[in-house]
């Protein structure tokens, strides 16, 4: 096993960690906006780590170049989609969660 394969495994395990924590946030957080925040941040980072791992495993080939293009697209598309979903939630009247005793 060479160093590139080991680095690919490290990046993919890191991606798996962030996918897992984003899923836990989705299940545990109290409302739409906090859940969206957890999944938006966690999934974006996890996908990027996985794609970096795939690129390191594949190497500098045409397939590796395609993986880089996918990573750039995902880096731009996922936060944009998260923002659009949160704005849609606000426009539809979803009220953000507050702790008891908090006033606006």
- Please write the tens of the pLDDT for every residue from 50-97: 999 999 999 899 999 999 999 999 999 999 999 999 999 999 988 888
Model pLDDT, residue 26: 93
Containing structural domain, residue 10: 3-91
- The answer to whether position 102 is within a domain reads no
- The answer to whether position 96 is within a domain reads no
Alpha-carbon distance 104 to 16, whole Å? Answer: 36
Model pLDDT, residue 55: 95
- The answer to whether position 103 is within a domain reads no
Alpha-carbon distance 88 to 84, whole Å? Answer: 6
- The answer to whether position 101 is within a domain reads no
Model pLDDT, residue 77: 94
Read out DSSP for 19-30?
A: HHHHHHHHHHSS
* Average pLDDT over the chain, rounded to an integer: 92
How many domains does the chain divide into? Answer: 1
The token pair at 25 is: 């946030």
71, 50 contact by CB (below 8 A) = no
- The answer to whether position 98 is within a domain reads no
Measure Cα distances from 4 to 9, 10, 53, 55, 89 in Å. Answer: 9, 10, 9, 10, 43
pTM: 0.84
């Amino acid at each position: 096993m060479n160093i590139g394969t080991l680095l690919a495994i490290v990046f993919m395990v890191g991606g798996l960690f962030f996918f897992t924590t984003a899923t836990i946030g989705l299940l545990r957080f109290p409302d739409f906006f906090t859940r969206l925040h957890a999944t938006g941040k966690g999934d974006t980072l996890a996908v990027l780590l996985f794609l970096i791992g795939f690129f390191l495993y594949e190497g500098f080939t045409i397939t590796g170049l395609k993986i880089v293009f996918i990573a750039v697209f995902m880096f731009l598309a996922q936060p944009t989609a998260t923002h659009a979903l949160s704005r849609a939630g606000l426009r539809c009247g979803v009220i953000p969660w507050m702790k008891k005793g908090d006033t606006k």
